[in-house]
Structure 1
């Protein structure tokens, strides 16, 4: 069972603002995503930021190092993730782990950005019952995407399922919980 978080979403938001992180990353179109953004985090969660490292990972490396290298436990890795060249920058800020993810394409095409957009809409449409169900499943060990899909009553691969919901209208997202097989 995962513990309750020691810091709130608002405290994390203030930490991000005070650190100047988004300003430092401004040329990369940074977007805060994931469980901390949605207020679904626990003490094991990190702060996730999606960026666009266009025109290429190599061309942006020096600027990324300048933007993030000032933070403790800094590490930059370029690797293949999800079949695409990706950059993952890890560091700590105010004692909280941070991951800055990016590829050489616009942020709105990044799957983690899309997951968060869908999850945020689902929370708005389904209210506290869905939030409580997702939090309960996360405390039981599920990652955020799996917790959402299972809370909706589906046994589909979480990443594929959420990406399939990205372009759907609110009516279709509202119907998901009723349409899914019982969880």
Structure 2
């Protein structure tokens, strides 16, 4: 069995994606780095939004499926860049916040700690919930018995721990 995180990291390195984004403090986040990904999970990268990022994101326009859009994520204005690297989908989200303070990063750190504390059986249960169609945060919230919005309840859970 291959390690998808290592494979994706190599793919990003081969295509110089993180190197291209280096001035924006890129972080590889989401389900792949913590091992709760499904085959169709995106490579998620977050960056800090700065005036020069549009030109840098447009440098990926030669890749298949390239799209650039603006969206509000968690009440934060975001620029999203999507494209494919071979069979992998890449999604780069930039916000005017340091990557370590972005919700995607915070969720990943909280989820990683929960997985470490709860073990392999819990991780496999997360994967089962995701196979049923739940996203990562909803799967964690359900298995932890958290109420309300899974995104905010997971952050609150992490703050309490």
Q: After TM superposition, is the score higher than 0.5?
A: yes
Spell out, residue by residue over 1:93-149, the C-alpha distance to the aligned partner (whole angstroms, 9 max, x if none). 122111001111211121111111111111111111210111111111110011111
Structure 1's unaligned 5+ residue stretches are: 1-5, 173-183
Q: Which residue of 2 aligns with 1:65?
A: 58
Distance across 1 between alignment mates of 2:58 and 2:33: 24
Q: Which residue of 2 aligns with 1:154?
A: 146
Distance across 2 between alignment mates of 1:10 and 1:96: 13
Query: Which among 16, 20, 38 is matched to residue 12 of structure 2?
Result: 16
2:24 pairs with 1:28: yes
- SS of alignment partner, residue 66 of structure 2: strand
Structure 2's unaligned 5+ residue stretches are: none
Q: Which residue of 1 aligns with 2:73?
A: 81
Q: Segments of 4+ in structure 1 off by > 6 A?
A: none
- SS of alignment partner, residue 72 of structure 1: coil
- SS of alignment partner, residue 152 of structure 2: helix
Aligned length: 160
Distance across 1 between alignment mates of 2:41 and 2:139: 14
Q: Which residue of 1 aligns with 2:43?
A: 47
Q: Larger % of helix: which?
A: 1
Q: Which residue of 1 aligns with 2:136?
A: 144
Considering only CA atoms, is the larger Rg found in Structure 1 or Structure 2? 1
